[in-house]
Chains A and B, each alone.
Chain A
């Protein structure tokens, strides 16, 4: 069997096409930060445990450290920055700021991408479901309550209630 030294990939990152030659072991996280310059994707552990590197790959929130860049070939990737014009994302961002859900902010990009992806699948979750959805994203500052408050507030406001 031939062992490949490099892999040619074509991906779309935040709507722009990127062609690159990557090494087979290069993670999507490394590719996004080091090649594409997507510094909004944070690296907390590279072990799939902290969730801070979460991005949307082919419509699904994934921990980008657990996906190889080569696996993203011909797929679309959205990071926090790329979603800046998305209405749901904007509502979440404002709600995070307003509810005190951002302390050091290092987990925030991954938390927001996870929350947006979750709310798209499940627009009317319970508080418990929100907690379950965010449980793969670690935060050491907030104690999570204000993050869950922020997501809940968006759910309520989208359902036509007051925030």
Chain B
């Protein structure tokens, strides 16, 4: 299909405003008479609160409110994530606004203060007296699953979820296998480290509506806030700001309920912005996993069986753990066609920081394990990394381990080949102690939410009388170009230059709800909704023009603000003329369209079968490393990414997703070591928790495959989260290639690599 705007490397409209410092983020808003909030957090990971005393804090000059759990109208709710369907207790957990008798993790919110200044609020926190009785706690998910384990919550078990995959007979298959590789892999928790900490401002508007301007991926939390306050849903309005990075860490509710409670109590505007240290304490982490893998193959390298046991550390509250574990379960065998598969997965509560969404959402952890396994198999069988993957990877017509079909193009072999071949001939070792190694890994991950969530999105388009266009869509923009993509789609369909299009986003009272900016779903869902709305408006214009020009509707197209006859391009009507006629005839040129993802039923069995996702994105990373055998330091020399993106609506932004997701996983592989010891967080700053800097990463080469086979607009697939897959195992496999050591736990810090090299010697 010929396009004029879609597929072009266009700067995002918001890029200019951001570069000029004109975009206001959540913490940049202030209101007259505004108070400042602070949160008192638990200093123990597991403790009983024997007594609160807030008297001294309340009477401190300048303090306007001090709230504890007893002041919260509804303190215990089910955690929601924008879904409008009831998915049942197996897929939802407790959302407790403020801690009650039992504290479950270090940093858990216990009390709220609103005061005339930040300093006063901070000082008042020290005046809240809490008598704790420390409890033993449990900090290891394997320990937590034992029968006599300390119970983190109020139930007598720490088990959050368990799932299974059953395909064929693994035991029989392992007996016939020529080679079996068995390993246990560990991945740590990972912090999102968005550069903008959580922040929001709340006030009560002239109609009594609690209004919260907040940095969030999920404006639909307004419903939860209303339930916390005990008011109707339409009494709470969330206005999402331009988000300074999310990556899943702004998917759970953050400051919203705290702000609502304080503004409700004081009847004054309130601001709450976390410090960096508080941000580390307060939001979720990527799930740590312990993964036992057993992979069997024939001597020719054909996979015959895979058995995996995955244990996830859910931390102190459930939040999105059941969903993440389900992703891990479905992705456990990877993009391979294996005749016999047995997967058991478990998630357990512990007194560690709570785990929830992180870009990659349960697909990334098993990806590290199964791709390490493939690399080991290849080495034992003396097959190159590409060939062993090509022999076994999913092809057109294959099914998932759950039995579900892949609708579109299965690009696994294409992306693996292109990424690996792009590296070219391997260079010689640099110096005696600097060894060069190469690694390949492939991956698959869904885009769009779990199909049993019955996901929908809505978008509204209106053509103004002067030919300019207005879009309203409740889409939070995290910086990935979510809003820009909708503008390009509208521009493409309506033949209007992009500078004549204005988009209004992320307001629960004024924009049609578009669902969450999570699950790599917005281009797919809201892109389709916007496409549908634009095409409805376009159809009305074409009908009118066909009557005016006395021609067939199929003979007309919209380009450059004209409606042109395809057969005789010099015959056309200016868009403004057709709009004028529509207006005179009372035909309004607007449309609010809804797009629905495929709907399936909520799984009722532990054994997962059939469709759980709408579609998948396939990708590969090939990397070259230089490992210093004397220090264990790993330097990334080259990185090639190849992904089937379906259709790149804006290649500049698609590359940006691959580069950003890839580098995020470079941190996962090499430097990001979030220390939690017996529930105590030991990483308080970016000086201790090391994100990759510009100096740590090579210039990634990106290869976009555009199969057109996605179910997003114009055949696009989602790429935001899938881009995090495959990088970590590719690096670890490259280290193996360079110095012959297999790192089975992330991150592969210099110390760890050096110890392995010394052990090898």
Chain A residues engaging chain B, CB cutoff 8 angstroms:
39-40, 42-47, 49-50, 52, 79-81, 84, 92-94, 96-109, 112, 127, 130-132, 134-148
The answer to whether the Cβ of B637 comes within 8 Å of any Cβ in the partner chain is no
CB of B686 within 8 A of CB of A49, answer: yes
Q: Which of A52, A93, A112 contacts B195 (CB 8 A)?
A: A52
B residues near A106, Cβ cutoff 8 Å? 25, 194-196, 244-245, 479
Q: Assuming the A-B contacts A45-B686, A104-B196, are A93 and B242 also in contact, with contact meaning beta carbons closer than 8 angstroms in the complex?
A: no
The answer to whether the Cβ of B687 comes within 8 Å of any Cβ in the partner chain is yes
A residues near B18, Cβ cutoff 8 Å? 102, 105, 108
B residues near A138, Cβ cutoff 8 Å? 193, 195, 686, 691, 693
B residues near A98, Cβ cutoff 8 Å? 11
CB of A103 within 8 A of CB of B20, answer: no
| Least CB distance, B597 to chain A, in whole angstroms | 26
Closest to B27 in A: A43
| Least CB distance, B521 to chain A, in whole angstroms | 18
CB of B15 within 8 A of CB of A146, answer: no
Q: Which of B12, B196, B247, B697 contacts A144 (CB 8 A)?
A: B697
Chain B residues engaging chain A, CB cutoff 8 angstroms:
9, 11-12, 14-16, 18-25, 27-28, 192-197, 242-245, 247, 275-276, 478-481, 652-653, 655-656, 659-664, 685-687, 691-697, 699-700
CB of B196 within 8 A of CB of A96, answer: no
A sample of 26 cross-chain residue pairs with beta-carbon separation below 8 angstroms, ordered by A number, consists of A39-B24, A44-B276, A46-B275, A49-B276, A81-B21, A93-B16, A97-B19, A100-B9, A100-B12, A102-B19, A102-B479, A103-B481, A104-B245, A105-B15, A105-B19, A108-B18, A140-B194, A141-B656, A142-B656, A143-B659, A143-B662, A145-B697, A146-B659, A147-B694, A148-B694, A148-B699
Q: Assuming the A-B contacts A102-B15, A103-B479, A138-B195, are A45 and B694 also in contact, with contact meaning beta carbons closer than 8 angstroms in the complex?
A: no
CB of B19 within 8 A of CB of A131, answer: no
CB of A47 within 8 A of CB of B685, answer: yes
B residues near A101, Cβ cutoff 8 Å? 15
CB of A103 within 8 A of CB of B196, answer: no
B residues near A141, Cβ cutoff 8 Å? 245, 479-480, 656, 660
Complex CA–CA separation, A47 to B277 (angstroms): 10
B residues near A146, Cβ cutoff 8 Å? 652, 655-656, 659
B residues near A109, Cβ cutoff 8 Å? 21
Q: Which of A47, A92, A94, A130 contacts B686 (CB 8 A)?
A: A47
A residues near B276, Cβ cutoff 8 Å? 44-47, 49-50
A residues near B192, Cβ cutoff 8 Å? 140
| Least CB distance, A140 to chain B, in whole angstroms | 5
B residues near A43, Cβ cutoff 8 Å? 27, 197
| Least CB distance, A130 to chain B, in whole angstroms | 8
A residues near B195, Cβ cutoff 8 Å? 42, 44, 50, 52, 104, 106-107, 138-140
User: What's the dominant secondary structure at chain A's contact region?
Assistant: loop
Complex CA–CA separation, A140 to B692 (angstroms): 8
CB of A49 within 8 A of CB of B656, answer: no
Complex CA–CA separation, A132 to B695 (angstroms): 6
CB of B695 within 8 A of CB of A140, answer: no
CB of A142 within 8 A of CB of B699, answer: no
A residues near B693, Cβ cutoff 8 Å? 134-136, 138, 144
Q: Which of B247, B275, B694, B700 contacts A140 (CB 8 A)?
A: B247
Complex CA–CA separation, A98 to B194 (angstroms): 23
Q: Which of B23, B652, B687, B691 contacts A105 (CB 8 A)?
A: B23
A residues near B664, Cβ cutoff 8 Å? 140, 143
Q: Assuming the A-B contacts A131-B695, A143-B660, are A103 and B480 also in contact, with contact meaning beta carbons closer than 8 angstroms in the complex?
A: yes
| Least CB distance, A114 to chain B, in whole angstroms | 10
B residues near A42, Cβ cutoff 8 Å? 25, 195-196, 244
Closest to B655 in A: A100
CB of A134 within 8 A of CB of B244, answer: no
A residues near B691, Cβ cutoff 8 Å? 138, 140
A residues near B20, Cβ cutoff 8 Å? 80-81, 84, 93
Q: Which of B18, B663, B692 has the most CB of A within 10 A?
A: B18
Q: Assuming the A-B contacts A44-B196, A47-B276, A135-B695, are A145 and B15 also in contact, with contact meaning beta carbons closer than 8 angstroms in the complex?
A: no
B residues near A139, Cβ cutoff 8 Å? 195, 694
A residues near B197, Cβ cutoff 8 Å? 43-44
Closest to A103 in B: B479
Q: Which of B16, B479, B659, B696 contacts A104 (CB 8 A)?
A: B479
Closest to B685 in A: A47
A residues near B479, Cβ cutoff 8 Å? 102-106, 141
Q: Assuming the A-B contacts A43-B27, A44-B196, A141-B479, are A131 and B11 also in contact, with contact meaning beta carbons closer than 8 angstroms in the complex?
A: no
B residues near A148, Cβ cutoff 8 Å? 694, 699
CB of B194 within 8 A of CB of A145, answer: no
Q: Assuming the A-B contacts A100-B656, A103-B480, A104-B194, are A143 and B12 also in contact, with contact meaning beta carbons closer than 8 angstroms in the complex?
A: no
Complex CA–CA separation, A22 to B687 (angstroms): 28
Complex CA–CA separation, A100 to B480 (angstroms): 10
A residues near B662, Cβ cutoff 8 Å? 143
B residues near A79, Cβ cutoff 8 Å? 21
List 7 additional A-B contacts (Cβ < 8 Å) besides A93-B19, A103-B480, A106-B196: A44-B197, A49-B276, A102-B18, A106-B244, A135-B695, A143-B661, A145-B700
Complex CA–CA separation, A96 to B23 (angstroms): 15
B residues near A84, Cβ cutoff 8 Å? 20
CB of B685 within 8 A of CB of A143, answer: no
| Least CB distance, B644 to chain A, in whole angstroms | 20
Complex CA–CA separation, A103 to B652 (angstroms): 11
Q: Which of A44, A84, A134 has the most CB of B within 10 A?
A: A44
Complex CA–CA separation, A141 to B659 (angstroms): 8
Complex CA–CA separation, A131 to B694 (angstroms): 5
A residues near B27, Cβ cutoff 8 Å? 43
CB of A104 within 8 A of CB of B478, answer: yes
9 A-B pairs with least C-beta separation: A104-B479, A105-B18, A40-B21, A106-B244, A143-B659, A143-B663, A49-B686, A103-B479, A97-B15
B residues near A46, Cβ cutoff 8 Å? 275-276
Complex CA–CA separation, A80 to B23 (angstroms): 12
CB of A103 within 8 A of CB of B686, answer: no
A residues near B14, Cβ cutoff 8 Å? 102, 105
Complex CA–CA separation, A42 to B199 (angstroms): 13
| Least CB distance, B357 to chain A, in whole angstroms | 15
Complex CA–CA separation, A118 to B276 (angstroms): 27
CB of A145 within 8 A of CB of B244, answer: no
Closest to B693 in A: A135
| Least CB distance, B46 to chain A, in whole angstroms | 28
A residues near B247, Cβ cutoff 8 Å? 140
| Least CB distance, B705 to chain A, in whole angstroms | 19
A residues near B695, Cβ cutoff 8 Å? 131-132, 135
Q: Assuming the A-B contacts A45-B276, A140-B195, are A96 and B659 also in contact, with contact meaning beta carbons closer than 8 angstroms in the complex?
A: no
CB of A144 within 8 A of CB of B15, answer: no
Closest to B23 in A: A105
Q: Assuming the A-B contacts A135-B694, A140-B193, are A96 and B700 also in contact, with contact meaning beta carbons closer than 8 angstroms in the complex?
A: no
Closest to B249 in A: A140
CB of A49 within 8 A of CB of B687, answer: yes
A residues near B21, Cβ cutoff 8 Å? 39-40, 79-81, 109
CB of B700 within 8 A of CB of A104, answer: no
B residues near A135, Cβ cutoff 8 Å? 693-696
Q: Which of A50, A92, A94, A103 contacts B656 (CB 8 A)?
A: A103
Complex CA–CA separation, A159 to B442 (angstroms): 41
Complex CA–CA separation, A67 to B242 (angstroms): 28
| Least CB distance, B66 to chain A, in whole angstroms | 24
Complex CA–CA separation, A102 to B22 (angstroms): 13
B residues near A81, Cβ cutoff 8 Å? 20-21
Complex CA–CA separation, A135 to B694 (angstroms): 5
